[in-house]
């Protein structure tokens, strides 16, 4: 019997298989007939004999496959075949099955996370009925509400935190096809196949839940609200139907009273007669209206259809009444979804051809871009306005995130939950206020945007080679960048777009090593590896003047740094530093076609070891050729002084310099590879050697040097330096009359001009005593607003020096990771913020406003506020722009990057396709080569404080007595335990301790260890003594047991007695 049953089962299954194959073959023949019919319709040769319409197609499918095929899958398949006869759908789609888009899907751990799929939230309660799907999701911006409508008639209103505020089950036999919110009347509007429902979500105990407008002649498929604030008592809605018509319906508050129809019995909604409304309509499409939306920014509405001719319509709502021509966009195989990005000002459409097209709203004959990647029909598109991203969804439940600016894919993920019938009904909306993507199926899925976005696909690159120069032209708000290949580029700071570029500025294969912009931003000076210097017009990029190439040009003539002193139509003057350590002034005037050298600063100076200060006699006649710095000549033989133990030679291996030329102050500071700094003061006619004697010179080399001047009334004027983007020079020279320098020069001018010499300290001090006016004026220049010199060192520290040569402050970066040697310095125009860049790519920010107001006050500290990693390699230069509140950094990695000055958030890099969004600081972006997050230091005082800790552990004798056990308990427990307790506190006896100085870290936020235990030192070894009561108990116990006494205990008892 069992064998017969098995044979019957096998025969039945084989018969079923044969029946399914026959049914499938008949189904494919039916599809072939439909394709032939559609092709003949397009050519105009079709007759209506044996026409296959939807009713006949649906009946045939039910006969072949039975109730296993869902109506909505049959409907979707029919639409796809009739709209796309050239592309035959897979037969699996009639059963709601799709082949997945496996290609191009990346794992969440490796992808560039834009939407956090792993942190998806689901809302399941009070949304849909059983075997129901969500047909519409709407975000209400001002009220922060979310409205959902399910196919079987469940309308739900959610709060900002996605809690249910109100819900209703619509008693309507037809299905809901779409919903929206009326902002003025405060109603939820939903359309069904034959009615328009107006739900009053605030009516909880009233007799009616709202109104229903019926009957509607055609099947309504979509609805949207026209957002216009011209009348607060009315709302306008747009609707599309299955015949290609678009309806315009205006509803006022009076209509709820005046246009009610008499109902025979009480119902859920009060009925409004559709015949009493003036509803203009116009046939815009030759197929179903898939979606309809109104764009308030364009003051236009859009509607789409699978029609290949009138695929997408974008025009004013007045066209629905006046029947004037409308703007049509034709797309092969039609449009299923569309959206508008206000920032990019583009319309994005998608349809059955699986291509996303970007359109200019005013140009309808050709798209401006295409996005390829989907393998199935696109059914929904939304826009992330803030980031200018487009999120598209295919019928296979594959999400793709695109960048509109770069036309590149950012993320792909797949939604695998749900049943097959949900794939054709998958609404989606993006909440731009909170950065969340909402999708609907049998549940609501919420995908949050990533708070930290790291672009793993694109390495920031502004130049192909490493950078030498980055400067900021404050007059034009433009940035200059120069790489080692001598490619000069100019960028717009706000947008990041390139303005122009110059290649081979100093000749083929001649590296441009440094540059400077004069204070008015009109002229640019560049220096090259062969020693040449050129002057350019910044705006046009035209060459003005040049310093000719030297006859014996070599690497020794390489220009390291350049500073602009003066620039106008008649004269140009710059200060340069070459590879040999020579500092020169190069000038050019209208009478000369080329630039020429007018002044040279001695590169080697012998200093006394006891007091490294040398006073100079200056040559006044040199000011006739250049009016910036007087000439200095060294008559002593420096080579003979190399073996002199009483002197040392400084300024060996000069790496950087800075110039300060303001009223009452003319200074040049140079930094060397051995850590020594020479400060040339031309007002006091002296040169000082600044160095920290307690440090090994091997690791203290000076990489950057910078003058700091505090101005209360107005920001300090400056132009750019090659390595340090600042200059202090006025366009006009300093008046010569009445200055201390002139008194000094007039007295020296009486002697022979060639007989200049280096004065010793005694000679100059005697001279200053004979000229009291000189010392008075120097005191006035140095009082109150005395400049400060900042130097960045290989030892990762910044030192602040007074112009008298004293070390005022030493700053060390306080960060989780070592920053490495500091390589660049800059300040803002008010000299309140100090920024430093390091060899490891870190940027450190200090606030020094209070310190510069009164450097002598110990309470005025320099506070470190922020530290972040900007590059993976060495920072070459940086500057801060106060108006935009941004920091620009450049590195040897070839990129120039833009950061938020207060938070260290990444905006992008110069050279990227996307424009900068400087107003968006809500989310943290990271470049592909940086993984460290910015560290905000919230410390209000120093990071490390020196304290004296006094006895944190003390013995409370009263409390100890209350806790001490009775003598009988001690006798049972033995003497050892009590002695051990007293021994512990005896070691901490205050009389035997001396507190030592300890360090305590007080920055909890920075991740440092908090609260080290203090270190104690005992003067003498404390002798352990036992109280007499315990000695007596111990003696009695030992004699009672008859044990021999321990020698140590006998000795202790004898000592106590």
Per-residue pLDDT tens digits for 353-385? 999 999 999 988 889 999 998 988 999 999 998
Distance CA 1010, CA 1008 (A): 6
Q: How many CB atoms are located within 10 Å of the residue 244 CB?
A: 19
CA dihedral 265, 269, 275, 280 (to 10 degrees): -170
pLDDT at 329: 94
pLDDT at 102: 44
As a whole number, mean pLDDT of residues 987-1001 equals 46
Strands 788-793 and 702-708: antiparallel
In this structure, which long-range contacts are made by residues 540-544, counting pairs with CB atoms below 8 Å and at least 24 apart in sequence?
Answer: 541/490, 541/500, 541/502, 544/572
User: Do 851 and 860 touch, CB atoms closer than 8 A?
Assistant: yes
Distance CA 976, CA 690 (A): 65
Q: Is 616 exposed, middle or buried (0-12, 13-18, 19+ CB in 10 A)?
A: buried
pLDDT at 948: 44
User: Do 586 and 576 touch, CB atoms closer than 8 A?
Assistant: yes
pLDDT at 489: 94
Asked whether the CA dihedral 736, 737, 738, 743 is positive or negative, the reply is positive
Pairwise pLDDT comparison (686 vs 647), residue with the higher score: 686
pLDDT at 764: 39
Token match 């006891």: residue? 610
pLDDT at 814: 79
For residue 337, name the pLDDT band (cuts at 50, 70, 90).
Answer: very high
As a whole number, mean pLDDT of residues 983-991 equals 51
Q: How many CB atoms are located within 10 Å of the residue 353 CB?
A: 20
- Secondary structure (DSSP) of 772-797: HHHHHHHHHHHSSS--EEEEEETTS-
| Residue 834 CB partners (closer than 8 Å, separation 6+) | 708, 790, 798, 825, 826, 827, 845, 846, 847, 848, 862
pLDDT at 93: 75
pLDDT at 500: 92
For residue 813, name the pLDDT band (cuts at 50, 70, 90).
Answer: confident
The rounded mean pLDDT for the chain is 75
As a whole number, mean pLDDT of residues 185-202 equals 89
Share of the chain above pLDDT 90, in %: 24
For residue 1008, name the pLDDT band (cuts at 50, 70, 90).
Answer: very low
pLDDT at 773: 38
pLDDT digits (tens, 9 = 90+) for 849-906: 888 888 888 788 888 999 999 998 999 999 999 999 999 999 999 999 999 999 898 9
pLDDT digits (tens, 9 = 90+) for 740-798: 333 333 433 333 333 333 343 333 333 343 343 333 334 334 444 688 999 999 888 99
pLDDT at 633: 60
Nearest CA to 600 among 630, 572, 627, 563?
630
pLDDT at 778: 40
Strands 686-690 and 677-681: antiparallel
pLDDT at 761: 39
Asked whether the CA dihedral 930, 932, 934, 940 is positive or negative, the reply is negative
pTM over 0.75: no
Distance CA 219, CA 242 (A): 6
At residue 356, the 3 state secondary structure works out as strand
Token match 């009445």: residue? 738
For residue 652, name the pLDDT band (cuts at 50, 70, 90).
Answer: low
pLDDT at 649: 61
pLDDT digits (tens, 9 = 90+) for 470-506: 999 999 999 999 999 889 999 999 988 999 999 988 8
User: Do 675 and 701 touch, CB atoms closer than 8 A?
Assistant: yes
pLDDT at 990: 47
pLDDT at 982: 54
Pairwise pLDDT comparison (975 vs 786), residue with the higher score: 786
Nearest CA to 435 among 109, 926, 923?
923
pLDDT at 6: 52
pLDDT at 1055: 42
As a whole number, mean pLDDT of residues 1013-1031 equals 51
Token match 């709209």: residue? 83
User: Do 702 and 798 touch, CB atoms closer than 8 A?
Assistant: no
Q: How many CB atoms are located within 10 Å of the residue 764 CB?
A: 20
Query: Averaging pLDDT over each range in 266-275, 391-400, 642-651, which range is the top one?
Result: 391-400
Pairwise pLDDT comparison (111 vs 801), residue with the higher score: 801
As a whole number, mean pLDDT of residues 318-341 equals 92
Share of the chain above pLDDT 70, in %: 68
pLDDT at 101: 52
Query: Averaging pLDDT over each range in 435-439, 698-702, 982-986, which range is the top one?
Result: 435-439
For residue 1053, name the pLDDT band (cuts at 50, 70, 90).
Answer: very low
pLDDT digits (tens, 9 = 90+) for 53-86: 777 888 888 888 887 777 767 777 777 777 666 6
At residue 251, does pLDDT exceed 70?
Answer: yes
At residue 582, does pLDDT exceed 80?
Answer: yes
User: Do 1026 and 1057 touch, CB atoms closer than 8 A?
Assistant: no
At residue 340, the 3 state secondary structure works out as strand
Where do the H-state alpha helices sit in 759-845?
761-770, 772-782
pLDDT at 900: 92
pLDDT at 994: 46
As a whole number, mean pLDDT of residues 157-164 equals 89
For residue 691, name the pLDDT band (cuts at 50, 70, 90).
Answer: confident
As a whole number, mean pLDDT of residues 445-467 equals 78
Give the pair of three-digit tokens for residue 208: 């009616």
For residue 731, name the pLDDT band (cuts at 50, 70, 90).
Answer: very low
Find the distance separating the first CA and the last CA of the chain, reported in whole Å: 111
pLDDT at 51: 76
At residue 204, does pLDDT exceed 80?
Answer: no
**Phi, psi dihedral angles at 614 (to 5 degrees):** -125, 130
At residue 563, does pLDDT exceed 60?
Answer: yes
Distance CA 726, CA 662 (A): 13
pLDDT at 516: 94
pLDDT at 880: 95
For residue 958, name the pLDDT band (cuts at 50, 70, 90).
Answer: low
At residue 1036, does pLDDT exceed 70?
Answer: no
For residue 16, name the pLDDT band (cuts at 50, 70, 90).
Answer: low
As a whole number, mean pLDDT of residues 98-122 equals 59
Give the pair of three-digit tokens for residue 668: 């040049």
For residue 918, name the pLDDT band (cuts at 50, 70, 90).
Answer: confident
- Any idea which of 362-366, 423-427, 923-927, 1010-1014 has the lowest mean pLDDT? 1010-1014
At residue 1000, does pLDDT exceed 70?
Answer: no
Asked whether the CA dihedral 246, 176, 312, 70 is positive or negative, the reply is negative
pLDDT at 901: 92
Strands 728-729 and 654-662: parallel
At residue 643, does pLDDT exceed 70?
Answer: no
As a whole number, mean pLDDT of residues 613-642 equals 61
């Amino acid at each position: 019997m069992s064998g017969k049953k098995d044979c019957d089962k096998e025969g039945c299954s084989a018969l079923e298989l044969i029946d399914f194959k026959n049914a499938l073959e008949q189904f494919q023949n039916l599809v072939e007939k439909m394709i032939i019919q559609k092709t003949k319709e397009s050519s105009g040769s079709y007759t209506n004999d044996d026409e296959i319409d939807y009713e006949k197609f649906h009946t045939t499918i039910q006969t072949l496959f039975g109730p296993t095929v869902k109506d909505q899958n049959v409907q979707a398949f029919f639409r796809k075949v009739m709209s796309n006869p050239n592309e035959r759908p897979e037969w699996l789609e009639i059963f709601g099955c799709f082949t997945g888009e496996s290609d191009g899907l990346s794992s969440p751990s490796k992808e560039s996370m834009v939407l956090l799929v792993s942190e998806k939230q689901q809302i399941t309660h009070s949304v849909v009925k059983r075997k129901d799907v969500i047909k519409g999701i709407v975000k209400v911006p001002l009220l922060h509400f979310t409205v959902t409508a399910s196919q079987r008639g469940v309308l739900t209103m959610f709060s900002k935190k996605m809690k249910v505020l109100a819900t209703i089950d619509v008693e309507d036999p037809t299905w809901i096809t779409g919903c929206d919110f009326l902002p003025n009347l405060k109603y939820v509007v939903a359309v069904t196949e034959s009615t328009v429902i107006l739900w009053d979500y605030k009516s909880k105990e009233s007799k009616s839940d709202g109104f229903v407008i019926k009957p509607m002649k055609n099947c309504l498929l979509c609805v949207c609200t026209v957002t216009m604030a011209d009348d607060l008592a009315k709302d306008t809605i747009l609707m599309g139907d299955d015949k290609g018509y678009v309806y315009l319906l205006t509803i006022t508050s009076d209509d709820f009273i005046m246009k009610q129809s008499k109902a025979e019995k009480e119902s859920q909604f009060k009925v409004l007669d559709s015949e009493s409304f003036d509803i203009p309509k116009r046939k815009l499409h030759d197929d179903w209206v898939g979606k309809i939306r109104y764009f308030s920014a364009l003051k236009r509405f859009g509607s789409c259809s699978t029609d290949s001719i009138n695929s997408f319509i974008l025009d004013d709502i007045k066209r629905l009444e006046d029947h004037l021509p409308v703007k049509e966009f034709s797309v092969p195989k039609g449009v299923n979804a569309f959206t508008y990005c206000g920032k990019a000002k583009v319309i994005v459409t998608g349809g059955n051809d699986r291509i996303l097209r970007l359109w200019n709203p005013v140009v309808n004959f050709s798209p401006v871009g295409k996005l390829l990647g989907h393998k199935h029909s696109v059914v929904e598109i939304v826009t992330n306005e803030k980031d200018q991203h487009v999120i598209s969804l295919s019928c296979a439940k594959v999400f793709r995130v695109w960048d509109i600016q770069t036309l590149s894919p950012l993320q792909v993920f797949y939604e695998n939950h749900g049943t097959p019938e949900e794939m054709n009904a998958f609404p989606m909306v993006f909440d731009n206020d909170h950065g969340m993507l909402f999708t609907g199926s049998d549940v609501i899925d919420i995908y949050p945007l990533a708070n930290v976005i790291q672009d793993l696909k694109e390495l920031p690159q502004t130049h192909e080679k490493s950078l030498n120069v980055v400067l900021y032209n404050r007059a034009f708000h433009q940035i200059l960048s120069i790489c080692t290949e001598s490619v000069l580029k100019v960028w717009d700071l706000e947008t990041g777009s390139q303005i122009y570029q110059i290649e081979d500025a100093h000749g083929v294969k001649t590296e441009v090593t440094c540059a400077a912009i004069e204070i008015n931003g009109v002229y640019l000076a560049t220096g090259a590896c062969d020693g040449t210097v050129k002057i350019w017009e910044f705006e046009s990029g035209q060459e003005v003047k040049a310093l000719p190439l030297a006859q014996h040009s070599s690497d020794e003539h390489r220009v390291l740094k350049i500073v602009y002193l003066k620039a106008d139509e008649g004269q140009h003057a710059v200060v340069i530093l070459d590879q040999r350590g020579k500092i020169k002034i190069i000038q050019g005037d209208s009478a000369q076609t080329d630039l020429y050298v007018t002044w040279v600063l001695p590169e080697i100076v012998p200093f006394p070891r006891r007091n490294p200060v040398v006073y100079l006699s200056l040559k006044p006649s040199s000011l006739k050729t250049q009016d910036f710095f007087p000439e200095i000549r060294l008559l002593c033989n420096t080579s003979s002084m190399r073996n002199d133990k009483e002197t040392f030679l400084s300024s060996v291996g000069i790496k950087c310099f800075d110039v300060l030329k303001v009223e009452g102050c003319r200074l040049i500071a140079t930094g060397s590879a051995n850590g020594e700094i020479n400060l040339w003061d031309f007002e006091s006619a002296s040169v000082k050697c600044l160095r920290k004697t307690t440090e090994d010179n091997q690791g203290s080399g000076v990489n950057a040097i910078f003058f700091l001047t505090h101005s209360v009334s107005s920001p300090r004027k400056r132009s750019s330096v090659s390595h340090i983007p600042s200059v202090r020079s006025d366009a006009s020279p300093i008046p010569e009359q009445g200055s201390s320098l002139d008194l000094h020069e007039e007295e020296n001018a009486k002697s022979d001009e060639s007989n200049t010499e280096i004065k010793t300290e005694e000679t100059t001090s005697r001279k200053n005593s004979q000229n009291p006016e000189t010392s008075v004026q120097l005191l006035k220049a140095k009082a109150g607003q005395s400049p400060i010199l900042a130097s960045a060192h290989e030892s990762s520290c910044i030192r602040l020096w007074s112009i008298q040569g004293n070390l005022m402050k030493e700053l060390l970066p306080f960060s989780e990771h070592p920053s490495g040697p500091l390589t660049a310095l800059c300040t803002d125009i008010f000299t309140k913020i100090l920024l430093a860049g390091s060899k490891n790519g870190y940027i450190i920010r200090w606030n020094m406003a209070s310190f510069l107001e009164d450097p002598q006050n110990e309470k005025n500290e320099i506070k470190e506020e922020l530290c972040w990693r900007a590059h993976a390699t060495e920072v070459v230069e940086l500057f801060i722009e106060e108006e935009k509140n941004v920091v620009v950094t450049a590195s040897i990695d070839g990129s120039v990057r833009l950061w938020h000055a207060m938070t260290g958030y990444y905006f992008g890099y110069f050279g990227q396709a996307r424009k900068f969004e400087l107003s968006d600081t809500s989310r943290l972006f990271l470049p592909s080569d940086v993984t460290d997050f910015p560290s905000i230091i919230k410390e209000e005082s120093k990071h490390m404080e020196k304290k004296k800790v006094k006895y944190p552990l003390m013995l409370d004798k009263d409390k100890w007595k209350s806790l001490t056990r009775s003598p009988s308990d001690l006798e049972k427990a033995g003497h050892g335990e009590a002695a051990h307790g007293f021994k512990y506190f005896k070691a901490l006896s205050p009389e035997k301790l001396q507190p030592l100085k300890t360090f305590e870290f007080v920055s909890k936020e920075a991740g440092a260890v908090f609260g080290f235990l203090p270190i104690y030192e005992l003067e003498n070894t404390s002798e352990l003594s036992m109280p007499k009561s315990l000695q007596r108990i111990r003696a009695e116990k030992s004699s009672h047991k008859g044990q021999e006494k321990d020698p140590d205990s006998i000795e202790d008892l004898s000592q106590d007695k």
